[in-house]
Amino acid sequence: MKAAFIKKYGNDEVMHVGDLPKPQVGPHDVLIQIKAASINPIDFKIKAGLLKFLRKNSFPLILGHDLSGEIVKIGDQVTKFKKGDLVFTRPSSTGTFAEYIAVSEDEVALKPANISFEEAASLPLVGLTAWQAFESANLHAGQRVLIQAGAGGVGSFAIQLAKVRGAEVWTTTSEKNIDFVKSLGADHVINYKKEKVWDVLKGMDLVFDTLGGDDLYKIYPVVKKGGWIVSISGSPDQKTARDMELGAMKTFVLGVVGLKANLLAMARGIHYKFLFMKPEAQQLNQIRILVEQGKIRPVIDSVFQLADIQKGLEHSMAGRARGKIIVKIAD
């Protein structure tokens, strides 16, 4: 099968496109012919070797973390799907930049019927990330949430999901995307090039941090006592290690890494969580329903062919995409 893969870690390592063996199908697996996948920041982080402490990988390594496609074979103990079902998923392993992937049936959901394969492929990772962030903080109607980088892949989905939950939404973006994020449902927009959120906001029930770095630590005063910061770009900690079952040594190391974030949270009487999203078919089914009801719409920035995936990855790394970057695998 055709696949895009890396042969080693490194910022300068390019994506190779070539033939690799088709995956084997276990008794509880479905074999999916992938129609489209999407590029996410975790792909170039893995390529650079930034996550090798958390994950063990072998080479050649096929990247890619979500997809839409058609089931072409099922394991002999599969009960939830049949050959010919159109599905989407965020599998627990990498491998979606390829013509085929074998995935546990427990990680797969039927594709929303009213959208294309490309649109469906844009949803699993960002949708589950936003869903689990809001579940962690129990975001509900009437609460105030700040979503960083609202025009990006995660942000554009999170704004819509927060509105479904009845929250009042603030977001940050550049001037050119102000009307765009308002069209997604943002109630208040901060032009980050002119204002800093920590200078103008207070009393947030939740900050959904997608930036990390120094911006994370500066954002704490924005959150009210008892509120939450949920970060996907900040510091993993002991809770992250326990959730991922990384063992005692790595749990200790991540406890040190996440110490500053947790101490700052304790000092201000708020909650901090680093979110390492998990595959969850039941949540994907809920997302499917919202899409079919017209309450959430996919946002696609651009579509690349598999042969041009390196260009797509570089476009993602530039950080200027509006919505998701898609890799078209098959018609």
Give per-residue pLDDT as tens, 34-50. 999 999 999 999 999 98
Could you tell me if residue 260 is inside a domain?
yes
Number of domains in the chain: 2
Q: Decide if 244 contacts 262 (C-beta within 8 A).
A: no
85-137 per-position pLDDT tens digit: 999 999 999 999 999 999 999 999 999 999 999 999 999 999 999 999 999 99
What count of Cα atoms within 13 Å lies in the side-chain half-sphere of residue 141? Answer: 2
Domain shared by 85 and 109, yes or no: yes
Q: Decide if 227 contacts 206 (C-beta within 8 A).
A: yes
Domain shared by 246 and 228, yes or no: yes
| Better-scored residue on pLDDT, 157 or 254 | 157
Domain shared by 82 and 184, yes or no: no
pLDDT of residue 67: 98
Domain shared by 113 and 133, yes or no: no
Task: Return the CATH number at 67.
Answer: 3.90.180.10
Could you tell me if residue 286 is inside a domain?
no
Domain shared by 147 and 264, yes or no: yes
DSSP state, residue 294: T
Domain shared by 72 and 172, yes or no: no
DSSP state, residue 247: -
pLDDT of residue 62: 98
Range of the domain at 255: 125-274
Domain shared by 136 and 261, yes or no: yes
Could you tell me if residue 154 is inside a domain?
yes
> Residue 244: which pLDDT band, with cuts at 50, 70 and 90?
confident
Q: What is the mean pLDDT of residues 283-302?
A: 98
Task: Return the CATH number at 173.
Answer: 3.40.50.720
Could you tell me if residue 285 is inside a domain?
no
DSSP state, residue 21: P
Domain shared by 146 and 172, yes or no: yes
Domain shared by 135 and 99, yes or no: no
Domain shared by 177 and 232, yes or no: yes
Domain shared by 62 and 94, yes or no: yes
45-73 per-position pLDDT tens digit: 999 998 888 778 899 999 999 999 999 99
Domain shared by 98 and 130, yes or no: no
Place of tokens 């099968």: 1
pLDDT at residue 75 is higher than 90 = yes
Could you tell me if residue 287 is inside a domain?
no
Question: What number of other Cβ atoms are within 10 A of residue 217's Cβ?
Answer: 15
pLDDT of residue 256: 86
> CA nearest 162: which of 80, 89, 257, 230?
230
Q: Record the tokens describing residue 297, joined without a space.
A: 């719409």
pLDDT at residue 27 is higher than 90 = yes
pLDDT at residue 153 is higher than 90 = yes
Q: Decide if 258 contacts 246 (C-beta within 8 A).
A: no
pLDDT of residue 166: 98
DSSP-based three-state secondary structure for 75: coil
> CA nearest 80: which of 289, 282, 279, 277?
282
Element (H, E) at 260: helix 259-268
pTM: 0.95
pLDDT of residue 258: 85
